[in-house]
Amino acid sequence: MKAMLLQKAVLLIAGATAIFIGGSILLSPDAFYAAYGISLADDVSLANELRASGGSVIMLGLLTLAGLVFSRFALASTLLAAAMFMAYGASRLVSLGLDGQPDTGLVTAMIAELMIGLAGLAALITQRKPA
């Protein structure tokens, strides 16, 4: 029972977070990135690229939330959530090592992403059936 509760919590938090972040990037990339000290400087091509990634993050969030609604998708949705958040967090960690310290908000985002990703991995481990 605890394993299912952990999995549902991960799916809800990961899915809602992805939809919120992706939606913010898709609908208002200038404001979203300005919060991290990043100026898009009226670069239409950059805005286009960022909005596209925002749409992708929204879709990943919807697929993650599908695991809450349809139990047959729960395992795949949990795997997707863990992979997505671990990839974002780990990539930011690599950038921290290669590029130096970014805005504090981005470091906070990295920590949150790694925490959600690790929670997803924990949910996957607890769902594992003995061989």
| pLDDT per residue as tens digits for the range 26-52 | 999 999 999 999 999 889 999 999 999
Residue 128 has pLDDT above 80, yes or no: no
Please count the structural domains in the chain. Answer: 1
Query: Which tens digit of pLDDT belongs to each residue from 73-82?
Result: 999 999 999 9
> What span, in angstroms and rounded, lies between the C-alpha atoms of 16 and 123?
17
Residues spanned by the domain of 123: 2-127
Closest CA to 58 of 24, 13, 29, 35: 24
Give me the mean pLDDT over the 17-25 stretch.
98
Residue 97 has pLDDT above 70, yes or no: yes
SS3 (DSSP) at 106: helix
